[in-house]
Amino acid sequence: MRRAELPYHWIAVVERREINGNISVNGIENRNVDAVPSLAKEIQTLFNARVEIMQLSSIKFCAQTLSFLLVFLYSNQRTLAAIDRMIESLIKQVRVHQVIYLINDVKYPGQENAIVQKICSRYPTQILSFDHTGQYIIMNRSSILFVSSLETTEPPYDVELEFTKNLRNMAWDTFISRFLLFVLGQNKDRNLDYLLKFAWRQELIDVILYQVDVEAGPPNLTIGYSNPLSAPGLVHQYNPFTRDYHRELFNPNMTFYPNMLIDLHGYTLRIGLVHFPPYSDIVQDEISQVVKYKAVFGKLITTIRKASNFTISPVIRSLSDYGVLLNNGSATGMLADVKDGKLDIIAFGGFYLYSPFTFMVRILKFARGFVRDFTLIPSTQLDRTSYLSMEEACPVVPMISTTYILLDISFVITCLSIVILIIAIWLFTFILKPDKRNTIIWHPLSIGLMILGIPIPGQPIKLRERLVYGCILMVSLFYSSNVVAQLTSINLDTNSFKEFTSYKDLEKSDLIPVVHPNMFNMTFSDGNEVLVKLGKRAIRQPNYVQYCSERLLARADVVCVIEDLCARFLIKQSRTSFGKPRMKFAKPCFWSAIRAYILRKASPYTSRFNDIIMRAVESGIHTRWWLEYTGESTNMSKAMQDTTDEVDIVNQLKDTTYKSDFFLLGFGCLVAAFAFVSELFIFSWRTKRASQVKVLKVKVADDDD
């Protein structure tokens, strides 16, 4: 029988440990289709169709899924008995969540029914058949696990390797981490290390091959599970970190899938790094060799390396080489290197952002019951670890000088009260009916001067006028002193800076926004008209932090869209020698996002990295790393040590204050005394001069007589 004509059957067994949330199970209808010419091609086509529709669901799950790929070629009763014993032992160690049974051939319905009845009696089971036409349905990505196996009798076939490669494609959009592949053949002495090593090149780490020796013969449609026939079985395993391949006879008590990620035995990981303070600070020697990893993400990768025992092969790039995620699903820079397998991890704490895709899916066309035409939906094939920090992207603006008159609100209230009082007294004068010879003192301006304590020409004549006049003088005692006191608190602040309290203020300022290309859509594409105007003049700069901060300090004509932690670090570092800031935050911030390590989809290292990152966050050590690097902890400890000198400092400030106050008081008294004495001399001089003029006029009149 040629390999293309072998009847293949797939079964998917899924174990799920839920951490948060529930998962619904979508039903699967029976489908029929004739035998397909190429197993690998059809599985790939089916997978691509599944991926394109699943992108529409946008469902996120917080779970770990164990998948077991089982492929069965039914030959006789002995094969089924061996497989049955393997499944029984596996069930004792793992908790099964769902079974998905896939079949494209009904040559042996009796054997199929026996398997299906055994599984359905224990677990929720969905059956997917290619024997009928129909619509492909959407399934949860944590339960869409296609599990299969091969029949082999000779050295490796391209179909075997291609099928193993497709396992990676099936795991691409799931949390799959474990596989069980049944290999049915007549040569039990055959090594299968090539298949396991090839699976590792596809980043399938937990793969077990169970080899069953099949004897040729007609199929037996009756299966006695109570007295199964014995069949030899070999378990093949491979540790890629120690390059240890071994096979052993099946033992029901053997341990399946040991955690190999606990110790990587010095395995080399290609890690992309960027010198990007305050997140990642790389110290290199004269020959560009990394000496030390500093800052939060640098210390974290060092901690993970020690805990997992791997070797870092650093690939140091500039921030401009980080790359962007394009709207067609492709990537550039370091992100493309991770996608293509040139890098294992990007570990400097970058954002994982992309442009939202507009999904357009055509109606699937079925040719003989199988998907033949579909529209591929873009996907980046990238993933991230658990996050260490949630940050806001905020505008950072230069310190633009301006002048403000600082006026207390109480002064405004006092002035309004005086105006109301003047109007009230002026209206009362119509009832008072003052003497017509002295109406000037009841003019509104004169009333205001009296309230402020300023003397006016004239005096009241009638008794009722004198009573009202006396009341005004009593009121003036309060208002005049209050106004004078408040006028001393009015300051002309020539050292103030322009405030930005809205997006409209940024738009009117003519400052040019500088933003990373990945952050552009999230910042300026939310339908806000003001943000759209800002986006039209924005500069997209991959090396946005260095470019924008240097231009802001040199020309003060840009607004930097930077994460708040990075912005605080830049504001602190850019202070003048006198400690004055040269840039500041504007309000409000645009959006918030998380920082994490970037890996490929379904990377085998994701779960191990997440465990260590979670412990670092829960223990608070990542906060300590941040404070140590930015110097905030040093400043706080120094402030605590200086509390003993606080009394001396306060006393010194008090001494300086009262000496200045007494100096001003004495100087003011001298000026007032000088003014008072000057007024006395002037008054005496004017009196003598007036009397001399009167006497002279009298003498002239006597001479004429």
Predicted confidence (pLDDT) per residue in 25-60, tens digit: 233 222 333 333 333 344 344 344 333 333 323 222
**614: in domain:** no
Helical H segments across 231-319, by residue range: 295-308
Q: What is the mean pLDDT of the chain?
A: 68
Residue corresponding to tokens 């040629």: 2
259 contacts 334 by C-beta, under 8 angstroms: no
Task: Note whether 488 and 636 are same-domain residues.
Answer: no
Burial (CB count <10 Å: 0-12, 13-18, 19+), residue 380? buried
Percent of the chain at pLDDT exceeding 90: 11
More confident of the two residues 27 and 666: 666
CA dihedral 37, 41, 45, 50 (to 10 degrees): 110
pLDDT at 175: 53
pLDDT at 89: 73
Helices (H) and strands (E) in the chain, counts: 19, 26
478 contacts 452 by C-beta, under 8 angstroms: no
Residue 608 has pLDDT above 60, yes or no: yes
Least confident piece of the model among 199-203, 258-262, 458-462: 458-462
| Candidate ranges 149-153, 164-168, 235-239; pick with highest mean pLDDT | 235-239
CA–CA distance, 690 with 134 (Å, rounded to integer): 123
CA–CA distance, 500 with 528 (Å, rounded to integer): 17
267 contacts 241 by C-beta, under 8 angstroms: yes
Q: Max CA-CA distance within the chain? A: 171
Residue 452 has pLDDT above 90, yes or no: no
Geometric angle at alpha carbon 657, from 656 and 661, rounded to 5°: 120
State phi, psi for 460 to the nearest 5 degrees: -70, 150
Residue 13 has pLDDT above 50, yes or no: no
Confidence of residue 488 (pLDDT cuts 50, 70, 90): low
pLDDT at 395: 93
Residue 65 has pLDDT above 60, yes or no: no
pLDDT at 617: 87
Q: How far from the centroid of its chain's Cα atoms is residue 407's Cα?
A: 41
Which domain, by its residues, includes 106? 71-249
pLDDT at 371: 36
**701: in domain:** no
pLDDT at 643: 41
State phi, psi for 672 to the nearest 5 degrees: -65, -40
Q: How far from the centroid of its chain's Cα atoms is residue 23's Cα?
A: 26
What is the mean predicted confidence (pLDDT) over 222-233? 43
pLDDT at 557: 92
Q: How far from the centroid of its chain's Cα atoms is residue 576's Cα?
A: 31
Least confident piece of the model among 79-88, 198-207, 378-387, 433-442: 79-88
Query: What does DSSP assign to residue 231?
Result: -
> Which helix (H) or strand (E) segment is 403 a member of?
strand 401-406
CA distances to 1, 36, 41, 73, 673 from 5, in Å: 7, 8, 14, 12, 120
Q: For 56-106, give the DSSP string.
A: TT----EEEEEEEEEEE----HHHHHHHHHHHHHHHHHS---EEEEEES--
Half-sphere exposure of 661 (CA within 13 A, CB side): 6
Residue corresponding to tokens 């793969």: 207
More confident of the two residues 40 and 600: 600
| Candidate ranges 442-446, 543-547, 696-700; pick with highest mean pLDDT | 543-547
More confident of the two residues 486 and 490: 486
What is the mean predicted confidence (pLDDT) over 140-166? 50
**107: in domain:** yes
Half-sphere exposure of 559 (CA within 13 A, CB side): 27
Q: What's the token pair of residue 385? A: 């670890």
Least confident piece of the model among 99-108, 220-229, 487-496, 525-534: 220-229
Residue 299 has pLDDT above 80, yes or no: yes
What is the mean predicted confidence (pLDDT) over 511-538? 86
Q: What's the token pair of residue 571? A: 């504001």
What is the mean predicted confidence (pLDDT) over 591-597? 85
Confidence of residue 650 (pLDDT cuts 50, 70, 90): very low
**80: in domain:** yes
Least confident piece of the model among 104-108, 190-194, 271-275, 593-597: 104-108
Sort strands 539-540 and 558-563 into parallel, antiparallel or unpaired: unpaired
Q: For 454-477, give the DSSP string.
A: ---S----SHHHHHHHHHHHHHHH
pTM: 0.60
What is the mean predicted confidence (pLDDT) over 625-639? 63
Residue 376 has pLDDT above 60, yes or no: no
Q: What's the token pair of residue 608? A: 């191990």
pLDDT in tens, 397-425: 998 877 666 666 777 777 788 888 888 88
**160: in domain:** yes
Half-sphere exposure of 371 (CA within 13 A, CB side): 23
**267: in domain:** no
pLDDT at 348: 84
Domain CATH code at residue 111: 3.40.50
Q: How many CB atoms lie within 10 A of CB 84?
A: 17
Q: How many CB atoms lie within 10 A of CB 122?
A: 11
Residue 571 has pLDDT above 50, yes or no: yes
The one-letter amino acid code at 468 reads: V
* Last-in-domain residue among 249, 265, 296: 249
506 contacts 313 by C-beta, under 8 angstroms: no
Strand partners, 18: 63
CA–CA distance, 373 with 34 (Å, rounded to integer): 17
pLDDT at 337: 92
Least confident piece of the model among 48-62, 144-158, 187-201, 688-702: 48-62
Confidence of residue 98 (pLDDT cuts 50, 70, 90): low
* Last-in-domain residue among 249, 266, 282: 249
Structural domain total, the chain: 3
407 contacts 490 by C-beta, under 8 angstroms: yes
**600: in domain:** no
What is the mean predicted confidence (pLDDT) over 240-263? 86
Confidence of residue 122 (pLDDT cuts 50, 70, 90): low
Residue 691 has pLDDT above 80, yes or no: no
**449: in domain:** yes
CA distances to 126, 146, 374 from 53, in Å: 19, 17, 10
